[in-house]
Structure 1
Amino acid sequence: MNNALTPRFDSVQCLDARGLHRMAYVEWGDPANPKVLVCAHGLARQGRDFDTLAQAMAGEYRVVCPDVVGRGRSDWLADPMGYAIPHYVADMVTLLARLNAQEVHWFGTSMGGLIGLGLASLKGSPIGKLVLNDVGPRIEFESLQRIGQYLGAPAHWATLDEAADALWAISESFGPHTRAQWLALSAPQLRPDGDGFKPHYDPGIALPFGLVTREITAAGEAMAWQAYEGLRCPTLVLRGAESDLLSRETAAEMARRGPKATVHEFPGVGHAPTLVQADQIEVVRRFLLAP
């Protein structure tokens, strides 16, 4: 008998401009369940961020948490300019074909939400419900500048505890966590590096990110609003009440436009809620499992 709380590790081959790359994913729940929940992570994170959420949903879903290419156990791209949302969307189309999913719900944090938005806006998209975690069509440029200060910077830590402290210094906006919760989130973020650890992502993801200007951000916003206006699936927007990436005004606009999303704010949290807290998980459960 399959144990729904035991993770299974697999990968799928995806096409890029230089050939093929391998996208890894971790899967929870009954592999025969036709109901699939895909959880997609943020810019410099990886799929194990969702272990707690996946275990909470594994009784109702086959939960699949990919490592977006360049992160976690996935391959790194030969051409770093391939680290872009349209390419990630194409990879996810390949993943969904592998899963042969009949019903797909999508949970996306930050970058993972933008991937979900792009996928859900496609004609014939299989996305039946969409959760956008602290992200929307309008992204505050100052927040991108803040992230750019540390993204791809060389780092080496002697121990897990040292690494966790350093990661917390740039992630305090995630909100309150116990030490055990933060260590669990931090360990998959690391890869061995000689006598210590380094970040578990390709520093090359910083190259296209660093080319983003205020003008490019504005042009991307116009395209993202167009995609959002075309959504036909029920949509939930989660917002950290202190977020510097998704403003309260943008979240309110998302409630008025397109799918007229339900918006829920978490107090004491910035960018972005990690969904390891019981109250955060309960909000997602209620939305996804509602008829």
Structure 2
Amino acid sequence: MRRNRLRYLLPQGFFTLAWTEWGPEGGQPVVCLHGLTRTGRDFDALAGALAAGGRRVLCPDLPGRGASDWLPDPALYVPPSYVAALSHLLARLDGPVDWVGTSLGGICGMLISALPGSPIRRMVLNDIGSFVPGASLARIGDYLAHPMDFADMAGLEAHLRRAHAPFGALSDAEWRHLAETSARPAADGGVALHYDPGIARAFQELEPVDMDLSALWAEVRAEVLVLHGAESDLLLPATARAMARRPGVRAVEIPGCGHAPALMHPDQIGVVAEFLAGR
């Protein structure tokens, strides 16, 4: 695993985007983008497996998360800012890429894929689709309202196990990995979740109404694999089925998961790897 950084430009100034990178630099690139409050380290297991097959895998931390710079105004934590940051990374790659996007990472992928001249060739949408129920957004807002600071790593891990139980049946080692890669030192000597509190404030200011992304989805031209957590409240079965009716789109239900499958289990990794390999 390699750690990299680049500078990107928003109207408010220059900021740093960080990512972890796996595999040969000459390999066909795959960009893996995490969900709302997560980091690129969520993809360590998937990235390692894809890299072993010769792929170059890049896992960015979205602005305000992980090792990337926090932004000066919570109002900047919106998809257009993320796409602007990611466009600098895509310009550096300067060629076709594949995309794996979990939740918010999938929305960013759809925004980029819908643009003329998009470099995205194949795209995995992990439990995100053309319609998002407002009730699921309200649930996310509820867990964002909880404190971000914890006395120790055990407390932070316990919080993640509760908040992200829909990720699926993870091992103790996998939960520990998610906790360790989600933590930063807190001012009081404890630990805190590794994202800007402004992200939660910005999200909670949004009205939790149904989100219709069908117009955006209609412009996506990449070949798409839709992963649907069988117990998800965010990507509904009817939405996944409707998306899969389009040529070049396939939907796969992931049992034992809600929003969103962690993509750590070998079976889930295998589904993604086969799709990205064109099989």
Question: Under a length normalisation based on structure 1, what TM-score does the superposition of the two structures give?
Answer: 0.91
1:210-251 CA-to-partner distances (Å, cap 9, x unmatched) read 232255x44xx1xx2122112222100001100010000111
Output the amino acid matched with 2:218: E
- Secondary structure of the residue aligned to 2:271 is helix
Q: Which of 227, 236, 242 is the equivalent residue of 2:231? A: 242
Counterpart CA distance in 2 for 1:70 and 1:124 is 28
- Secondary structure of the residue aligned to 2:32 is strand
Q: Which of 112, 116, 124 is the equivalent residue of 2:105? A: 112
Larger deviation, residues 111-120 vs 141-150: 141-150
Q: Which of 254, 260, 269 is the equivalent residue of 2:257? A: 269
Q: Is the 8 A contact 1:16 1:82 kept in 2?
A: no
How much is the aligned-residue C-alpha RMSD, in angstroms?
A: 1.4
Instruction: Name segments (4+ residues, structure 1) moved above 3 Å.
Output: none
- Percent of aligned positions with the same letter in both sequences? 45
Counterpart CA distance in 2 for 1:231 and 1:269 is 26
Counterpart CA distance in 1 for 2:119 and 2:161 is 36
Question: Under a length normalisation based on structure 2, what TM-score does the superposition of the two structures give?
Answer: 0.95
1:5-59 CA-to-partner distances (Å, cap 9, x unmatched) read xx111111111231111111010011132x1000000000000000000000003
Aligned to 1:81: 75
Structure 2: gaps spanning 5 or more residues: none
1:253-279 CA-to-partner distances (Å, cap 9, x unmatched) read 11124x552000011110000111000
- Secondary structure of the residue aligned to 1:27 is strand
Output the amino acid matched with 1:129: R
Displacement of 1:179 in angstroms is 0.4
Aligned to 1:56: 49
Q: Is the 8 A contact 1:88 1:115 kept in 2?
A: yes
- Secondary structure of the residue aligned to 2:216 is helix
Aligned ranges 1:158-197 → 2 under 5 Å: 158-193=151-186, 194-197=188-191
Displacement of 1:159 in angstroms is 2.3
Q: Is the 8 A contact 1:173 1:270 kept in 2?
A: yes
Q: State yes or no: 1:284 paired with 2:272.
A: yes
Give the length in aligned residue pairs: 277
Displacement of 1:155 in angstroms is 2.6
Output the amino acid matched with 1:19: G
Structure 1: gaps spanning 5 or more residues: 1-6
Counterpart CA distance in 2 for 1:141 and 1:12 is 35
Output the amino acid matched with 1:195: G
Counterpart CA distance in 1 for 2:182 and 2:11 is 27
